[in-house]
């Protein structure tokens, strides 16, 4: 579900203006409980994961090229920035966090 809510998704697809919120929730919940719907949700999520992975892979490749160029031109700050960008894409932090002041 793109919107993250079965009720919102149901409202997007069906005419629900005259329905109570509880009715919409019940119908959406029932529909979400079917194997056919879950199979489709899984399929959509799988494709989204592939697209995201391909995008991250392309960005990492670009940052590695930038890092190589920066090092070749002796631009340490640019190389470090490329490293940091790669780390963020991978969900890591290469630099220790600043200590909190108490």
Inside any domain, residue 28: no
| pLDDT given for residue 4 in this prediction | 62
Inside any domain, residue 88: yes
Torsion of CA 77, 82, 87, 91, to 10 degrees: 120
| Angle at CA of residue 31, ends 25 and 17, nearest 5° | 45
Inside any domain, residue 69: yes
| pLDDT given for residue 62 in this prediction | 93
| Angle at CA of residue 86, ends 85 and 91, nearest 5° | 95
Inside any domain, residue 97: yes
3-state secondary structure 31-84: HHCCHHHHHHHHHHHHHHHHHHHHHHHHHHHHHHHHHHHHHHCCCHHHHHHHHH
| pLDDT given for residue 28 in this prediction | 87
101 lies in which domain range?
A: 53-102
Inside any domain, residue 46: no
Mean pLDDT (10-residue bins), the chain, 102 residues: 73 89 89 85 87 85 94 94 89 61 54
Tally of domains within the chain: 1
- For residue 90 the two structure tokens come to 């991978």
| pLDDT given for residue 76 in this prediction | 94
- DSSP reduced 3-state for 5: coil
| pLDDT given for residue 100 in this prediction | 57
Inside any domain, residue 33: no
Inside any domain, residue 61: yes
């Amino acid at each position: 579900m793109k919107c993250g809510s079965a009720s919102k998704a149901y409202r997007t697809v069906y005419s629900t203006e005259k329905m109570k919120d509880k009715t919409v929730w019940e119908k959406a919940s029932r529909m979400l409980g079917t194997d056919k719907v879950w199979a489709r949700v899984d399929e959509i999520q799988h494709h989204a994961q592939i697209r995201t992975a391909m995008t991250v892979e392309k960005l990492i490749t670009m940052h590695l090229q930038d890092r190589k160029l920066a090092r070749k031109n002796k631009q340490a700050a640019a190389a470090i920035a490329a490293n940091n960008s790669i780390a963020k894409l991978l969900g890591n932090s290469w630099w220790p966090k600043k200590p909190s002041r108490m």
